[in-house]
Amino acid sequence: LATCRSLGWKAVIFVPPESTEFRGWYAEAGRRELDTLLADLASEFAVPLLDARAWVPDANIGDGHHLCGSGADRLTAKLRDTMTPWLSQTFPRP
């Protein structure tokens, strides 16, 4: 993120989709620690945090974290809707 900022590149922190079962494998304390770390990084570097862990229904996730067919289409559409306004912004060069 520091390199992206120094080069004037837009960056985003993206947490990919995971099934309900897959998300359940994480201890609550570990999940809270990860969420705090990601939020802190997003704040420190002033970048969006896209937490897509629950964006895709379990039926469209093949093995817990790989999308199947319409799951990939669903994620792409959601990313397009979420990111288009941000990507169209003008950002100052460092």
Q: Among candidates 75, 57, 49, which has minimal Cα distance to 19? A: 57
Q: Please give the Cα distance from 75 to 85 (Å, whole number).
A: 17
Residue 94, pLDDT > 60, answer no
pTM (two decimals): 0.85
- DSSP structure class, residue 54: T
Q: Write out pLDDT tens, residues 30-77.
A: 999 999 999 999 999 999 999 999 999 999 998 888 998 899 999 999
Give the SS3 label for residue 25: coil
